[in-house]
A and B are shown apart, each in its own frame.
Chain A
Amino acid sequence: MSDAFDVVIGLEIHAQLNTVSKCFSSASTDFGRGHNENVTAVCAGLPGTLPVLNKHAVELAAKAALILNCDIQETSYFVRKQYFYPDMPKGYQISQMETPIALNGFVEFYLDGDKQRVHLERAHMEEDAGKSTHYGEYSLINLNRAGIPLLEIVSKPEMTSARQAAAYARSVRQALRFAGVCDGNLEQGSLRCDCNVSIKPRGASELGTKVELKNINSFRFIEKAIDYEVQRQIQCQSLGEEIVQETRLYDSVKNKTFSMRKKEEANDYRYFPEPDLLPLVLDPSWLGEMRSQLPETPIAMFERFTEQWGIKADDAELLLSERELVEFFEKVVALGADPVLACNWMTGEFLRLFNEDGTATWDCVPLTAEQFSGLLELVHSKKISGKMAKEVLEEMWGSAKQATEIMKDRGLVQITDDTVLIKIVDQVLQDHPDKVDEYRSGKEKLFGFFVGQIMKASRGQASPEIVNRILRDKL
């Protein structure tokens, strides 16, 4: 049935710009403070107060726009979007409309091995509203969020599946996080995503009626909510019911969307230029400087890792899941570690230890890149076996010791001396004459048994490569 329809999806992502103070006031943006603690006279909309644009917010917005390949507008304007709501103290939200800071742009990402590109319509700056909590007879208002700087990133309505939309949203988050523009924390509301979903008969050029999904706080739920909504719309169509233009909320427990407000009830926002703020004019040379200082994007890193360094796509994706993880990885490689080896160890043992360590955070990793690259060097040059290396890593975690020190302390130095190893090999072969006979009569699987016995006799310190060579000679 769904083959009869094209699905059309557009996303509006609200990203909190990572500033210390609010967009138009000096109030703190610190999350988790007491109710209404991050509030100044300006945030509370007291009579006579005026907004003053936060320069850092503009810098971050411009940086984001560059990362998202937008056309930055050298002159943009703020407007007032007017509606009454108790958690919006001024009775209007300062936003941008026809002349935002950024137009056009695109985001690229890989989905199932295919490189995809989603185009953007615009990105504009605006301030967040406060938060209302309703308790039956009364409501409480917290203005800590009121005036937090946001960048709203509006995609073109050109995505065709829930999976693609979720992948797009993830890559936007990743790009913003990597550029240090937004911390991307969905639970704390520093990244929010509204999805516009419509269906139309396959191949039709005219778009169907758009439904806006709000209140989705994870990428998994973006996918589920859109999937549910598409099915709901298809069902509506097939039952001959009209799809109404409306805003629907997603309930993740019931995995359903339900109507919040119909379009007819929508406000006339009476946008007009904000007379308290001058036009925002960006200096082209300042922009040029910023452009030249942009960090490498995650997708460029992904391509470098996979195409130049031969790292598998899945591993590269895992590395790129956290900015700090990939930064650590890059440091380790810069210190001389083999990229594939480093990647395997980072995505394996390193992440395991990190996740098991209750106190480790990305700000405070209990291991330095120098320690880790030292260990990888020993592994690479076969001075230590994989098993030994894991033990060393565990001991190194949270200590200031280098791998070589730990090995020395534990007597874990690998035995590479032929004369010593020959003695051990001889002894093992002498202890198992029957197995030697079996091997020689064709049971070659027993090779591994001998290696195991030799490693055991050497307390794991024998170099497996040298042991293999000697054993093959002897047998």
Chain B
Amino acid sequence: MDLLNLSACDIPNLVKQKRVSATELLQAFWKRGTDLNPKVNALLAFNDDAEQRAKNIDKGLVKPGRLLGVPVVLKDNFCLRGMKTTAASRILENFVAPYTAHCVQRLIDEGAIIIAKSNLDEFAMGSSNENSYFGASKNPWDLERVPGGSSGGSAVAVSTRFAPVALGSDTGGSIRQPASFCGVVGIKPTYGSVSRYGMIAFASSLDQAGTFGKTVREAALPLGAMIHRDPRDGTNVDVPYSELLGGSQSLKKCRVGIAKEYMVAGLSSDLSRSIESIIKKLEAEGCEVVEISLPHTTFAIPVYYLVAASEASSNLSRYDGVRYGLRDIETPDGRPAADLAEFYKMTRSRGFGEEVKRRILLGTFSLSAGHYDAFYTKACQVRRLISQDFTQAFTHCDFVIGPVSTDSAFKLGEKTSDPIAMYNNDILTTPVNLAGLPALSLPLGLDSQGLPMGLQVIAPAFADDRMIAFAEALEALIDFTEVPNV
């Protein structure tokens, strides 16, 4: 049996019926990871408790839930009790979480095995994985290219078959963009549907946990367990559907919106051709394809970077070296910090990487007296307009489809010297986060360079179940079967 390519959806039954043991499955993925991770640097640590967990499952000591025996990779910004949770930052290099994130606990409760923690841009800030303190993860389709970010490690892990599914977080595209770069499915649910408790915060009003899978159905499987009311997150809400995978969506008479602002001039010709082709296929299936407008898209990047950086500057204040994490208070001239200000300065200067510091400074500036109204307040106002664009658009269509990014994976180091070019990479994903909507990326095919391209599907808030049903229908139309050869 090809254990590495089993569907996550089939594993629980196979394990329950003892046709596959959780231990052999784990070992297969473990071996794959041990062999290939040095090439792609997607995993930061294996979970030492996984083996015992698999044994317990095989002994029948674990309640057979919907994820029984399914190995899951966690982006290393999800807390798992007893294991290091670093957020790929030096400041948390040795931080061991004393508790488990709510959504991770849900997976465990359903029988999943947490196999490893994956690489990310430090504190999930980045679009290429190059901001990781532990070095960038690499794209399995071309090791000279970025896997995307910030959840690059999780996308690579699924693409390289280190696990059938993985968790990520999406603040401005951090699941969808790496999913598209790596040729896997990545789902970001509606803001508020997955508890953020135990997921290290980057920008609270935008952060949302989601999943990666080889297929839509596999990615939706763990997500269904993660969507669960948690009283420890005040922004967590009850969703209107009972089962994420319970929705149905016929392509006939389905109205699909194409945003003219997303088919921008900079879009690669391969991508635009592929999208044209899928539009034709949809029309042939009886879909009504309509052009819609999201007129404020052009403001998404400045708005997103102001809102996200402002919240981040505040969320990262807690990393001060007082209670946990790095404390490095020796000054360059070899004496201990003279006062509190120096204590903070030494620790935080050394604990955070360049990009994180850049965003803390940007956020601090935008929230400071005298600049607040011109930057933060203005950004919040325009955010509302971006959100209204979607409300308006969804009166004309059921879903919006379009590209995830303007091109396929770029080369490592290609954009590191130009932060604005790097930020602009997020133009097609950030509007969704600003509006709190569900969206996903699914493989659309390979471009002329042999790199995966992704198709984004955006749905109205809390229509996650319908979005997934629609994406499954799309997936069947596209029929993408390529795998990277690492």
Measured CB to CB, the residues of A under 8 A from B are 41, 44-53, 80, 82, 84-86, 89-92, 141, 268, 270-272, 275-278
Contact = CB atoms under 8 A, between A and B. Distances in A.
Interface in B161-219: 196-201, 203-205
Nearest to B348: A84
A130 to B, nearest CB: 10
Nearest to A41: B99
Contact of A91 (B85, B95, B318, B340): B318
B461 interface: no
A82 B318 CA distance: 11
Given A48-B198, A48-B199, A49-B198, 15 more contacts: A46-B324, A49-B197, A50-B232, A50-B234, A52-B232, A84-B340, A91-B316, A91-B317, A270-B367, A270-B368, A270-B372, A272-B372, A276-B204, A276-B235, A278-B235
Q: Which 10 A-B pairs have the closest CB atoms?
A: A91-B317, A275-B204, A275-B205, A270-B367, A45-B318, A47-B200, A48-B198, A86-B322, A268-B369, A48-B200
Contact of A50 (B92, B95, B197, B203): B197
B79 A82 contact: no
A75 to B, nearest CB: 15
Contacts of A44: 323
B314 interface: yes
A272 B322 contact: no
Contacts of B313: 270
Nearest to A45: B318
Interface in B284-330: 310-311, 313-314, 316-320, 322-324
Interface in B77-99: 77-79, 85, 87, 92, 95, 97-99
Contacts of A271: 367
Main secondary structure of the interface of A (DSSP, over half): loop
A270 B376 CA distance: 11
Given A46-B324, A47-B318, A84-B317, A272 B233 contact: no
A52 B364 contact: no
B231 interface: yes
Contacts of B232: 50, 52
A276 B97 CA distance: 20
B46 interface: no
A90 B199 contact: no
7 contacts: A46-B324, A47-B97, A47-B201, A48-B199, A48-B200, A275-B203, A276-B201
Given A53-B234, A91-B314, A276-B204, A86 B369 contact: no
A41 B98 contact: yes
Nearest to A87: B322
Contact of B92 (A47, A90, A92, A268): A47
A429 B340 CA distance: 90
A141 B322 CA distance: 10
A125 to B, nearest CB: 14
A272 B318 contact: no
B344 A84 contact: yes
A370 to B, nearest CB: 45
B101 interface: yes
A272 B365 CA distance: 13
A50 B87 CA distance: 17
Contacts of A91: 314, 316-318, 320
Nearest to A49: B197
B346 to A, nearest CB: 13
Contacts of B314: 80, 82, 91-92, 270, 272
B307 to A, nearest CB: 9
Nearest to B325: A47
Contacts of A278: 234-235
Given A48-B199, A90-B318, A277 B234 contact: yes
A275 B311 contact: yes
B231 A52 contact: yes
Interface of B: 77-79, 85, 87, 92, 95, 97-99, 101, 196-201, 203-205, 231-235, 310-311, 313-314, 316-320, 322-324, 340, 344, 364, 367-369, 372, 376
A157 B317 CA distance: 34
A270 B95 CA distance: 28
Nearest to B85: A47
Given A41-B99, A52-B232, A276-B204, A268 B318 contact: no
A182 B446 CA distance: 66
A84 B99 CA distance: 25
Given A86-B340, A270-B367, A270-B368, A48 B101 contact: yes
B344 to A, nearest CB: 6
Contacts of B196: 48, 50
From A41, A47, A51, A141, name the one whose CB has the most chain B CB atoms within 10 angstroms.
Answer: A47
B75 to A, nearest CB: 12
A452 B24 CA distance: 106
Given A48-B79, A90-B317, A278-B234, A272 B204 contact: no
Contacts of B316: 91
B250 to A, nearest CB: 36
B317 A82 contact: yes
A50 to B, nearest CB: 5
A92 B310 CA distance: 13
A89 B323 CA distance: 8
Contacts of B372: 270, 272
Contacts of A90: 317-318
A321 B87 CA distance: 56
A30 B486 CA distance: 59
B317 A48 contact: no
A277 B79 CA distance: 21
A52 B368 CA distance: 26
A48 B320 contact: no
A51 B315 CA distance: 12
Given A268-B368, A272-B376, A277-B234, A48 B201 contact: yes
Nearest to A268: B369
A52 B323 contact: no
Contacts of B318: 45, 47, 89-91
A45 B234 contact: no
A41 B200 CA distance: 13
Given A270-B364, A276-B204, A276-B235, A48 B323 contact: no
A53 to B, nearest CB: 6
Nearest to B343: A86
A92 B79 contact: no
A45 B364 contact: no
Contacts of A48: 77-79, 85, 97, 101, 196-201
A47 B317 contact: no
A84 B345 CA distance: 11
Contacts of A45: 318, 323
A52 B97 CA distance: 20
A135 to B, nearest CB: 15
A272 B306 CA distance: 13
A364 B364 CA distance: 54
B217 to A, nearest CB: 29
